[in-house]
Chains A and B, each alone.
Chain A
Amino acid sequence: MAAFLLELFSEEIPARMQSRAAEDLVRLATEVLGPLSPSGVRSFVGPRRIALAAELATEVPAQASRERGPRLGAPEAALAGFLRKHRAAREQLREEGEYWVLQRQSPAQPAAGLIAATLPALLRRFPWPKSMRWGGTSQFTWVRPLRRILCLLDGGVVPFDLREGEDDGHGLTAGDQTEGHRFLAPGPFAVRGVAEWQAELRRRRVLVDAAERRDRIAAGIADLAGARQLTVVEDSGLLDEVTGLVEWPVPLLGRIDPAYMDLPPEVMQVSMRVNQRYFALRHADGTPAPFFAFVADTEAADRGATIIAGNERVLRARFSDARHFWDLDRRTRLADRVPALDAITFHAKLGSQGDRVRRLVALSQVIAPMVGADPATAARAALLAKADLTTGMVGEFPELQGVMGRYYALHDGEAPRAADAVREHYLPKGARDAVPIEPVSIAVALADKIDLLAGFFAIGEKPTGSGDPYALRRAGLGLIRIIRDNRLRLNLRPLIKEAGSSFSNPPDPDDILLFLVERYRIQLRAAGARHDVLAAVLAHTIDDDFYRLLMKAGAIERFLTGDDGANLLIGYRRADNILRIEKKKDGPHDGPLDLDLLEAWEEQALASLLGPVEQAADHNLKAENYNAAMHALANLRKPVDAFFDKVTVNAPEPELRRNRLRLLARLRDTMNQVADFSKIEG
């Protein structure tokens, strides 16, 4: 085995691209170096370098290969094609039986040869999300200018360059040089192996291992916070980003000017995160603390005093800007901002935000009584729901939409429930986000999502396989979760129809209902939960009362996990299979039963039970006692088992056979009346 190290040293790589780049390097290198059986592949990534270390075989072993070609006497074109494909000459072919055969002996290739031969192309097609040209006229692109290539195999340089025809490839040649920290240890130096590379870089103030940097940052800021009895507001995305911004992380703590502590905590946190990449801190009771944590990329001579002072000053300027918006925004009532929404386009084909708000007001009023909300309050909340889009603060930080609306509504003296709904109508924003539980918020949140779905379905903008630019899937799942978690009983079809009537080309409500069910099914499957029960429930009609639908699915799921259910399902499948097969011969077999032809007591018992079970199931279904309906079905288990044990369906007497098939058909139909059990998997 030989130790391999590749380091691509460049100007600063955007933080958000780094981990993906490391994965791509591992994947591509493993692919092209496959013949050297790479093992122990590790990657390293940071602001100025991505690197890969691996153990490789010292050579690609010699190989004999044998390819069968066209038949002897095949057309000349077929032979030529075969030779072209294998880059072989006519003389290399031998006759073997009825065929031409190409037998080749490829000699062993030293590892360095394969590396030097494959890496230039790998670097040329490296999949950066966006790459650039620099320097003179070379067309070799990288995410930012590539300055050095270090490529070592067992301590020696594997020489290659990036020249290609006229293109000088920026004059880059693989060597043994790298560089440490830009300011703390400037200048190039040579290394001979992975361990030395990593240790020398550490000595020169570069931690090449991203995971180590991340841990050091997390522990460092937690210590700084802990020393003041504070905790860090968890933000793993920010932690990842900061890890990609520093080679030598030095966590520091800064103070927030108390004059700004009355800003809404969400504003402070977003401003710190988005603009500055600072971590917010809080007291034990959860209130914001007047400190922030940040990570410098250098050890300064004054132990960071200048750096801390500078960062504190920047934050004062940021907060002063935020204060400006906060004060200015509150000078105009939210309600007075509504007309300005007419000038903001929601979607070219769906009108302005003003149009949308008018639709939300109307729909919220319809939904309100169904969810126990006061229609006037819901209408008011809907009217104000989008007004904060015209505020300076939301213009600056779009992620604060709704949050600011609530603050401004409260400031204006709007009803607290309406103000809360302005914020909560956007919920849930993600799978783990809470759903609104206050009736007014529920009414506006449902209206918001139904209008979104109806509108985009109306203009044919349904999500496609990969694309969902308007986040309709998220809206759909949110809608279902609001209904499920709040146990809401409402019929969606008329609501969707109502929402759709605002558009010139109203969508088919069933399209949207199907879309919703499908989203839910996919989510269940992704979560590893049973999703086939939904399909079973939905086989007949799309129940637009989602809560009922979910109750029913839940009851079936419980039923099937029990002993009776599981066994009855086996009987059902057996019946269904037999019916399908016999149908092809002389079916269908769904005529009336002839009770006189029931010979065995097992078939008599089953037949006599079907009627009462059917009635009991039907009664309980209507009363929405789904568990009871399942219990009714469970009574069939024993008779069904006994029937299949003792009775031969395909009796030699044609009239007996037909009658037994009809009995099975009735069994199937009785069960199908509850749900389509043929859709159950597993």
Chain B
Amino acid sequence: MVRRTLMHAKPPSFQDLILRLHAFWSAQGCVILQPYDVEMGAGTFHPATTLRALGARPWRAAYVQPSRRPSDGRYGENPNRLQHFYQYQVIMKPDPADPQGTLLDSYRAIGIDPAVHDIRFVEDDWESPTLGAWGLGWEVWCDGMEIGQFTYFQQVGGIPVAVPSFEMTYGLERLAMYVQGRENVFELDFNGAGVSYGDVFLRAEREYSAYNFEHADTAMLTRHFAEAELECGALLAHGLALPAYDQCIKASHVFNLLDARGVIGVAERAATIGRVRTLAKACCEAWLAGEDSGASEKRAALPA
């Protein structure tokens, strides 16, 4: 009995956090997916969110997504900022009967007890100019710290959603720092057996910061952007929404790299974001147009 309490009191390791969230959302009827294998800035870009948020078919999924924000790199010197981090992403369409309650249960599952903490839902309207998407929701605060973002999608790819989705994003590093009581991300307990987050990622932060800010070949990246844009258009001509969307995500990431290298002027910036948005919109339209062709997408009755 005593041992049990002690074990429970020990905060989850980084990987344990993920396992608990997987178990929790799996029990909510979510498909547990693996990370998407294209570089992206946020879990929202994963086709399981962007494309599946469209149309009226029910959909529930949860997954971890490595997220790359080249401009946020600090060569591993800042205890709070990373150019590569993990988001835990949940999407449910339609939203469950009590999304806030479900979400709070997920926090209980990872050891955050609302009885001793101050949990708040603070206005945060979400918008992605790149995806032509927006929604309304909140930042979830725990004792003044943002531990998640909660959005009801209203529009994706410039298309108003047929059925609004509930979308939840947990910043895993930040959450882990909170539950483990750490002030430096690199000191996080990764596996509960002596391996720290720094052991796994510190070198990567240093090297990628140097790459993002100093060495990325901007001429090559500019070319890649143009190629991705072309390829996306060519694939859309064949109605291949998913491969086309990969090119859209690639273009978006290349743009982020160019931005980090500081070679995109202010006017050009808005124009380039507009070009990616055009691709995203076209992909979303193609996805909707071909929605009936997915053989495995029966109108499965999901648990309420």
Taking Cβ atoms with an 8 Å cutoff, the residues of A that contact B are 11-12, 14-16, 47, 130, 132-137, 143-145, 182-183, 245, 276, 278, 294, 296-298, 300-302, 306-307, 309-311, 313-317, 320-321, 324, 343-345, 348
Contacts and interface: CB of A to CB of B under 8 A. Distances in A.
Given A133-B154, A134-B95, A321-B80, A245 B118 contact: no
A345 B164 contact: no
22 contacts: A132-B135, A132-B152, A133-B154, A134-B152, A134-B164, A182-B119, A183-B114, A183-B119, A276-B144, A297-B120, A300-B116, A302-B116, A306-B116, A306-B117, A306-B143, A310-B142, A310-B143, A310-B145, A311-B144, A344-B266, A345-B266, A348-B267
Contacts of A321: 78, 80-81
Contacts of A320: 78-80
B267 to A, nearest CB: 6
B123 A15 contact: yes
Contacts of A296: 118
B105 to A, nearest CB: 12
Interface in B110-147: 114-123, 125, 135-138, 142-145
B80 A301 contact: no
Given A298-B118, A301-B116, A130 B136 contact: yes
Contacts of A15: 123
B143 A145 contact: no
B230 interface: no
Contacts of B145: 310-311, 313-314
Contacts of A301: 115-116
A136 B144 contact: no
B70 interface: no
Contacts of A348: 267
Contacts of B303: none
B195 interface: no
Contacts of A307: 116-118, 143
B147 to A, nearest CB: 10
Given A133-B152, A134-B164, A311-B145, 9 more contacts: A12-B138, A145-B99, A145-B152, A297-B118, A300-B116, A313-B183, A316-B183, A317-B80, A320-B80
B163 interface: yes
A132 B118 contact: no
Nearest to A304: B118
Interface residues of B, number: 41
Contact of A300 (B95, B117, B162): B117
Interface of B: 56, 74, 78-81, 94-95, 99-100, 114-123, 125, 135-138, 142-145, 152, 154, 161-164, 178, 181, 183, 265-267
B266 A16 contact: no
B228 to A, nearest CB: 26
A345 to B, nearest CB: 5
A228 B264 CA distance: 51
Nearest to B181: A313
A294 B74 CA distance: 31
A12 B123 contact: yes
A316 B80 CA distance: 11
Nearest to B270: A345
A348 B268 CA distance: 12
A547 B91 CA distance: 64
Nearest to A278: B144
Given A315-B144, A345-B267, A183 B95 contact: no
Chain B binding surface SS class: loop
Contacts, number: 106
Contacts of B120: 245, 297
A676 B144 CA distance: 62
A320 B80 CA distance: 9
B266 A294 contact: no
B143 A135 contact: no
Nearest to B74: A324
B125 A130 contact: yes
A302 B116 CA distance: 7
A183 to B, nearest CB: 5
A298 B116 CA distance: 9
A133 B143 contact: no
Nearest to B146: A314
Given A130-B136, A136-B163, A314-B144, A300 B118 contact: yes
A12 B79 CA distance: 32
B202 to A, nearest CB: 18
A145 B163 CA distance: 14
Contacts of A144: 136-137, 152
A135 B99 CA distance: 10
B247 to A, nearest CB: 29
Contacts of B99: 145
Residue of B80, B121, B183 contacting most chain A CB atoms (<10 Å): B121
A47 B100 CA distance: 14
A14 B181 CA distance: 30
Nearest to A342: B265
Given A183-B115, A321-B80, A324-B78, A245 B122 contact: yes
A137 B162 CA distance: 7
A132 B117 CA distance: 29
Nearest to A352: B266
A355 to B, nearest CB: 13
Residue of A134, A145, A296, A343 contacting most chain B CB atoms (<10 Å): A134
A11 B100 contact: yes
Nearest to A309: B143
B118 A137 contact: no
Contacts of B80: 317, 320-321
Given A276-B144, A310-B144, A345-B267, A135 B117 contact: no
A307 B119 CA distance: 10
A137 B56 contact: yes
Contact of A137 (B78, B116, B163, B267): B163
A619 B135 CA distance: 70
A132 B144 contact: no
B267 A314 contact: no
Nearest to A343: B265
Contacts of B162: 137
B205 to A, nearest CB: 15
Contacts of B118: 296-298, 300, 307, 310
Contacts of B100: 11
A314 to B, nearest CB: 4
A550 B152 CA distance: 56
Contacts of B116: 300-302, 306-307
A134 B164 CA distance: 5
B94 A310 contact: no
Contacts of B265: 343
A16 B123 contact: yes
A12 B121 contact: yes
Contacts of B152: 132-134, 144-145
Which 6 pairs between the two chains have the least Cβ-Cβ distance?
Answer: A310-B143, A14-B123, A12-B121, A311-B144, A296-B118, A314-B144
Contacts of B56: 137
A343 to B, nearest CB: 6
B143 A132 contact: no
A12 B103 CA distance: 14
Nearest to A294: B144
Nearest to A321: B80
A310 B56 CA distance: 41
Contacts of B183: 313, 316-317
B260 to A, nearest CB: 14
A14 B117 CA distance: 21
